[in-house]
Amino acid sequence: MAAALVTTVRDEVAIEDDEGVVRVRRAVRAAAVAARLSLVDQTKMVTAASELARNALVHGGGGTATVELMNNGRRSGVRVTFADSGPGIADMRLALTDGFSTRGGLGLGLSGARRLVDHFDLESEPGSGTRVQVVKWAR
């Protein structure tokens, strides 16, 4: 039988401006240290969270990030859930394609974040906002 997943909410951060993005990075870094992620994995998780927080601000008009510590009995990790009430994503497949950008950027936000984490879940519908959940486990 698999061990139960235990989660503890470390922080819920409002993403309303650039300072909110900075607060998300700090909260994720603190959780990654607490979960005993390696320095490389801390950096990957903070980078992914920074990209996703920026997306929530720029494309979703702001939102929230919920930062959680997780433990499944064998290892610990960090889960961050981003939610916004913006316009949503019309074509998620296209949005996850490297180089795709609606604002003239490099187009690596969603696809880059997905590559940096162990689990990536994206839910969005036009007119209903977007929810992205990412997980990084300690090795």
User: Which residues fall within 8 angstroms of residue 49, CB to CB, at 6 or more apart?
Assistant: 24, 25, 28, 65, 80, 113, 134
* 85 lies in some domain: yes
Give the residue numbers spanning the domain of 74: 6-137
Rounded Cα distance, 123 and 119, in Å:
13
How many angstroms from the chain centroid is the CA of residue 123? 12
Residue 138 has pLDDT above 50, yes or no: yes
* 1 lies in some domain: no
- Residue with the bigger pLDDT between 52 and 97: it is 52
pTM above 0.85, yes or no: yes
Q: Which of 130, 42, 26 is nearest to 86 (CA)?
A: 130
CATH for 111: 3.30.565.10
Residue 22 has pLDDT above 60, yes or no: yes
* 53 lies in some domain: yes
* 114 lies in some domain: yes
Q: Give the total number of structural domains in the chain.
A: 1
CB 138 within 8 A of CB 117: no
Confidence band, pLDDT 50/70/90 cuts, at residue 106: very low
CB 118 within 8 A of CB 137: yes
Rounded Cα distance, 110 and 4, in Å:
30
Query: What was the pLDDT predicted at 108?
Result: 57
* 34 lies in some domain: yes
